[in-house]
Amino acid sequence: MNLGKVAVLMGGSSAERDISIMSGSGVLKALQSRGVDAHAFDPAERELGELKREGFQRCFIALHGRFGEDGTVQGALELLGIPYTGSGVMASAIAIDKVMTKRIWRAEGLSTPAWRKVNSAAATRAAFAELGAPMIVKPAREGSSIGLTKVMSLDQCDAAYTQAAQKDEQVLCEQFVSGDEVTVPVLGSGAQARALPVIRIVAPGGNYDYQNKYFSDDTQYLVPCGLPAGEEEKIQALVLQAYQVLGCRGWARADVMIDARTRQPYLLEINTAPGMTGHSLVPMSARAAGISYEELCVRLLQSAARDHGDAPA
């Protein structure tokens, strides 16, 4: 395949390093199986300038979380003049920040649960008084449910805030929506972007935490999702709009909760460098659409781009 020398960026220094290595290893193997000249590259162990010096022509970003999914690596690759997979600098920086993402979605009239941004345990207790129980407390700029607590009573607020604040100085309190949990990948850019099949997630005890996301065989992923007639299309349309208003490109995956009583879908967050592990959901949805893991990796690599067409001098 004439895609040049490719670096699969994996590992990095975020809290999701281990998951990133799992994702990147799968992507690397898939690309190599399709004849791509692909190599592993860990930014935590090597200086990014080596990408240019060693003649890499494209980067597949399999980094998760900060310093990989937040616009920082994307900005460095822009300066190096190397096309990369996924969203550009601005969309990546916004999407990693759940508060900024929700502000934009709300401004665009898209449904997302009520929230408060807090900076203390006292503010968390005040948010609980407003939002009610259950309430989700989580770092504003982390993924994989790291640092997340489902708060059921006022006396849990202090510990929940402390746990989230250890991961990020910005903490988000969010009204919990009880109902079906689904996720929807999107592939493509601009008017050509398309939502893939919806996956309904049924986790043990309704707790889709870090362990149940990556290491449990008890979590069920239903695709076809089995939602009532018309709901899947409605959710796909909502997610596609959420993707486009943030300026995402290449691919992403949005998480949605469906209110059990009203059947109203609510956007939770969007991931611009989704997981590609054995438990990951984008490959699962793609398979349901007739796209193999290997083909998905190649398609994403072929979509590699930069915000600006001309490499800087």
- Contact indicator for 253, 197 with CB cutoff of 8 Å: no
Q: Which residues, in sequence order, are CB contacts of 13 under 8 Å at separation 6+?
A: 43, 44, 67
- Mean pLDDT, rounded, for 127-132: 96
Strand partners, 40: 8
Q: What's the mean per-residue pLDDT of the chain?
A: 93
Does the structural domain 5-86 have CATH classification 3.40.50.20?
yes
Question: Which pair of tokens denotes residue 109?
Answer: 């009239």
Confidence of residue 21 (pLDDT cuts 50, 70, 90): very high
- Contact indicator for 179, 173 with CB cutoff of 8 Å: no
Q: What is the rounded distance in angstroms from the CA atom of residue 266 to the CA atom of residue 118?
A: 21
Helix (H, G, I), strand (E, B) or coil at 310: coil
Q: What is the rounded distance in angstroms from the CA atom of residue 138 to the CA atom of residue 170?
A: 9
- Mean pLDDT, rounded, for 49-64: 97
The string of DSSP codes covering 38-89 is: EEEE-TTTS-THHHHHTT--EEEE---STTTSSSHHHHHHHHHT--BSS--H
**Superfamily designation of domain 115-175:** ATP-grasp fold, A domain (3.30.1490.20)
∠193-198-202 over CA atoms, to 5°? 150
Domain locations in the chain? 5-86, 94-111+177-298, 115-175
- Mean pLDDT, rounded, for 131-144: 89
Residue 186 has pLDDT above 70, yes or no: yes
Residue 313 has pLDDT above 50, yes or no: no
Residue 312 has pLDDT above 50, yes or no: no
The string of DSSP codes covering 96-134 is: H-HHHHHHHHHHTT-----EEEESSHHHHHHHHHHH-SS
Residue 201 has pLDDT above 60, yes or no: yes
Annotated catalytic residues are 16, 144, 214, 253, 255, 269, 271, 275
CATH architecture of 94-111+177-298: 2-Layer Sandwich (3.30)
